[in-house]
Amino acid sequence: MIIESGVIIFFGMLLLGIKLPRRVSLKLLGRPLALDLGVSVLAYIMHYGTFSGIMAAAVAGLMCSGFTSCARYAFGYIKDKRYHKGRIWQLKLTDDEVAMVMGHEIAHALREHARERMGKAAATNGVATIGSTVASVFFGVSPQLTDLVAKQGANLLNLKFSRDDETEADLVGMEIAARAGYDPRAGVTLWQKMSTANKGAPPQWLSTHPSGNTRIEEIQANLPKVMPLYERTKQ
């Protein structure tokens, strides 16, 4: 019930934001901290004085923070009376391509990737600390060296978990968009445009996101599964 409350509040605020005039929404995106705190406070008030309130506020705040960052990146924002363009306007995305972006972000929220990532990071860092201590005590390796190696290994593993979440969000988001009547093949053209714009990005294994080519391959492999969903909406 705690998580559900946070999710419901987040989506309620999201729907409210969609209904607001575009300029107002862009101004709100220009104040991400205030927006995140506002959603968290609202969640806490609904469960005032209980542990559930704190947890619901944390869930809603995390989801809002993730979505706000992605919305600023995609749509841009207004700050100090200046409009900072988002990727959608820079890359001249089609409606189908925008639907892939929106489906991706909705998938992150539905799969609770932010909460899951925190749990995975805590577990990975804990195992790394134990491994470092064991190597130092039983094999006489320098504690500083084992700690450094363990931390780097944990960071690489956390990056892998993040890339897996991004891939899942791509595929789930593509299905959401297809069911809504948007062409899932737009996922391919979207990442072709994004790859062109992101030249010079770090290697995939050092990134929180898969490379453009990897995402295109995953999307193309899953197109046969989602195309019937899209075609059904056109009948």
Residues linked to residue 82 through DSSP beta bridges, in sequence order: 79
Of the candidates 105, 112, 168, 217, the residue annotated as catalytic is: 105
Task: Judge whether 231 counts as a catalytic residue.
Answer: no
Catalytic residues: 105
